[in-house]
Structure formats: structure tokens, C-alpha cells
Amino acid sequence: MRRVLGFLPAFKGCNVVDKTLKTCEEAVAKVFDGATIMLGGFGDPGLPGRLLEALRKQGTKNLSVIHNGAGSGDWALGGLIKDGRVRKVTASFPNNPGAIAFQDLYLKGQIELELVPQGTLAERIRAAGAGLGGFFTPTGAGTELAKGKETRVIDGREYVFEKPLHADFALVRAHRGDRLGNLSYRKAMRNFNVPMATAGNVTIAEVDELVPVGGIDPEDVHTPGIFVDHLVALPRHPKLVEIGPPR
């Protein structure tokens, strides 16, 4: 319902819907201190790196981040963590070799971690976007991850109840987008960006290429524009390296 109501004001006094913004700074300007943000991609590939660099410059702090990893190096998410701007990370793989800043702060007790199995993480995000109140999963049953959670035996097997994951802002990265907010992803961009775009109160997309309305075949629209509030088109971050040409 939020998405439908949020879409209507675009028509008020205006015949043309245009969700594009010129800069990343403008796109993240409303991200407030203490916000919960979702970040799409699989580690750094597919991560909206330029939006995150703009967030670093903005100085937003006390953030709760939902991502499958915990950043890498000293840029984008890794940079936000290194700068001390992140209060909590909800992730599946926080111990990847490049997550030096997170590991250092975690061992010092200066950052909080909610460890979530990757399949459960994806489903909790999807459940939020679908308006579900939660679900039962066998993953994590009988382990520390189930501590304090409701459990139930179904057909002789123990299940753990998991709540949906919502966010104030979902920052996603797509290959192509149009002024209506329709998005098309490629490769690692398909990881988490699709469900996250439905689970944030405000969804902001960083896209490689802005195309005219109709420039994305309907069969290739992975996120319909009604889920997207803003998008900005700009070259990829120079620290993102891909092998092979675009497809």
C-alpha cells in the first residue's frame, strides 16, 4: 500500500513522471542518522558503491546496514564501517577476507552483528516486501542462531520463526533504468537488489545507463518503477572491476 500511495503524488500538478536525479549527493540527502539501510549485490559486485561514497561524504552516522557481507577495503560499505558510521551489520558473510574494518571494530566491541544464514536473509527481505509477518524455517534450528526465537515442530522437524526485515532506505544498483524507475539488472546485480527494492520505505537506484521509457523490454524489467523512488545514472565506481564485456 505504501508504494501505491507514494506513487500518486508524482501525478499531482504534473503530467510527466521523472524519478531521475542528477547526483548521488542529492539521492542520499534524506538518509538520516540512525537509519536502517539495505544494500544490494553480492559483496562488492552489484553494490551501489557511488551512493555509499556520497553517504560517506554526507556524514550520516549510527546506521544499521543489511547486506550479505560486511564491506571490503576502505571504500563504499567498507569505508562507511571504517569511518565509524555503522552501528550494526546484519549479514551472512561478515568474515570475508576484505572486511578488515568490520573485523577490527567487532573484536573491539564497537559494532554489533546480527548473523543470518544467507537463504534466511533473502527470505526475510522478501517477506518484508510481500507484507508477510514472518515464516518458519528449519535453518538454524538447534543452534545459537535460534536462541530467543519461537520454535515449532512441524511434521516431526524443528523449525525456527523468522521475522521480516524492513529498512528505511534500500540502496540498489541496476544496469539500466528509465525515468519511471523501471530497472533491469545483470549478473551479480540480481543478488538481493530485486527483493530489497520492495522492502525499503524509500528505494534509491544507482544505474549504469539511463534509457528512454520503452528502452527496457517488459520481459527484462526486474524491478517495476512503482517500487523505485529515485534513480541516478553514472559510471561505475573505479574500484569495481568486472571480467568480460557487458551482456
HSE at residue 50, side-chain half, CA atoms within 13 A, is 21
- The residue written with cell numbers 559483496 in the block is 43
Q: What is the pLDDT of residue 174?
A: 96
Instruction: State the alpha helices, DSSP H only, in the chain.
Output: 2-7, 24-27, 49-58, 76-82, 100-107, 118-130, 190-199
Please give the model's pTM, rounded to 2 decimal places.
Answer: 0.88
How buried is residue 123: exposed, middle or buried, by Cβ count under 10 Å (0-12/13-18/19+)?
Answer: buried
Q: What is the pLDDT of residue 178?
A: 97
Question: What one-character-per-residue DSSP string does 112-153 give?
Answer: EEEE--HHHHHHHHHHHHHT---EEESTTTTSGGGTTS-EEE
pLDDT tens, residue order, the chain (247 aa): 344 444 444 445 556 899 999 999 999 999 999 999 999 998 888 899 999 999 999 999 999 999 999 999 889 999 999 999 999 999 999 988 889 999 999 999 999 999 999 999 999 999 999 999 999 999 999 999 999 999 999 999 999 999 999 999 999 999 999 999 999 999 889 889 999 999 999 999 999 999 999 999 999 999 999 999 999 998 776 665 444 444 3
d(CA 91, CA 95): 10
- Please measure the distance between the N-terminal and C-terminal CA atoms of the chain and give it in whole angstroms: 35
Q: Would you state the cell numbers that stand for residue 124, as one nine-digit string?
A: 526475510
Q: How far is CA 96 from the centre of its chain?
A: 18
Q: Which of these CATH numbers, 3.40.1080.10, 3.40.1410.10, 3.30.470.10, 3.40.50.300, describes 34-115+166-233?
A: 3.40.1080.10
